[in-house]
Amino acid sequence: MKKPDLVISIVNHSNPELLHDCLRSLYAATHDIAFEVWIVDNATDSRGVDAMRRDFPQVRWLFNTERKGFSANHNQVLRQARGRHFCIFNDDTIVHDGAFDALVRFMDDNPRVGMAGARLLNADGTIQNCTFRSMSLAGQLFDIVFLPRPLHFLKQLAIDPAQYGHEEARVSWVLGACIVVREEALAEVGLLDEQMSPLGNTEDTDWCARAWKADWEVAFCPEAVITHLTSRSFRPSDSGPDKVRIELWRTRLAYFRKHHGRLYEAAMRAILVGTLPYNSAVLTQTLLRRRMSLTEYRKQLSTFLGISRMGLRERM
């Protein structure tokens, strides 16, 4: 039996309206390739699943009995599906016309490209950050601290400007909302790392870094356009620390440990702990100037405290 050109892996996070819209756009916008869609139901309440199975009977479903993280969910599909290319894809997305046709065509025209990402747009049509330079310690410092307005450009240094252009480009890494990987590259690079990123965050950076180390190129395909509704699958709680943000920094610490060793890990821990007094002072000043509510102040302060405590803990 001939392999499909593309296998698309999506995780259902109890957002049936988002996922239903995603599937409608995906099937309406894809014309020239043979593809399969696999959905991993992440131990949800099954709300909306019957309707989606009725409207899209060609979709293949996997059902978890317990909640799993981003990498573990997609790896279930990557282990058992068969295709020339695979795509890890978010449910909070709208596929523009011909996007996946363009991605497969791009992969076929560029045999040394192991992974590729699409142009991602915000809900308002503006360009979303989706192409990035190599992760650096300086970039992490600029990212975690509050910067005065004249220095805000430092937070953009990690962004690869390829995302603003209309030319194909090779980049360090692309956002995990949509990554297409070649079958041969997947066999060499391996699955997403479930230990480094058991819940989610930074698995895309790690996957792309491993592709480059295995002599596969990572590329940006601007012809493929997808609207990404920016993490609506994972809404942080209104009170208490932002656990998603704390997990982001935990996985970045794990990334530096994995790819750069103990010295970089120690430097990263110093950033996570050492920036707490400065960020706390900025937050307090903002509160005293009445530019922030007390609820938001407590939430942000508890988040920075959680990040700092995590940075102090021994190797995870």
- Could you please report the per-residue DSSP string of 94-148? EEPTTHHHHHHHHHHH-TTEEEEEEEEE-TTSPBPP-EEPPP-HHHHHHHHS---
Burial of 289 (0-12, 13-18, 19+ CB in 10 A): exposed
Cβ atoms 96, 221 nearer than 8 A: no
125 sits in the region (left: phi over 0; alpha: psi -120 to 50; else beta) called left
The Cα–Cα gap between 42 and 23 comes to 17
The Cα–Cα gap between 4 and 6 comes to 5
Burial of 71 (0-12, 13-18, 19+ CB in 10 A): buried
Q: Please name the residues in contact with 95: beta carbons below 8 A apart, sequence gap of 6 or more.
A: 22, 25, 26, 28, 29, 30, 226
- What is the Cα gyration radius of the chain? 20
Residue 113 φ/ψ, nearest 5 degrees: -80, 120
Question: 60 vs 28, 101, 136, 225, CA distance in Å?
Answer: 18, 20, 39, 24
**Residue reference for tokens 């409608």:** 24
Taking Cα atoms as reference points, which of 52, 114, 58 lies closest to residue 86? Answer: 114
Q: What is the pLDDT along the chain (316 residues), one digit of tens a residue?
A: 799 999 999 999 888 999 999 999 999 999 999 999 999 999 998 899 999 999 999 999 999 999 999 999 999 999 999 999 999 999 999 999 999 999 999 999 999 999 999 999 999 999 999 999 999 999 999 999 999 999 999 999 999 999 999 999 999 999 999 999 999 999 999 999 999 888 888 999 999 999 999 999 999 999 999 999 985 555 555 668 999 899 999 999 999 999 999 999 999 999 999 999 999 999 999 999 999 999 999 999 999 999 999 999 855 4
- Please state the three-class secondary structure of 257-311 as a single string: HHHHCHHHHHHHHHHHHHCHHHHHHHHHHHHHCCCCCHHHHHHHHHHHHHHHHHH
Taking Cα atoms as reference points, which of 88, 87, 46 lies closest to residue 69? Answer: 88
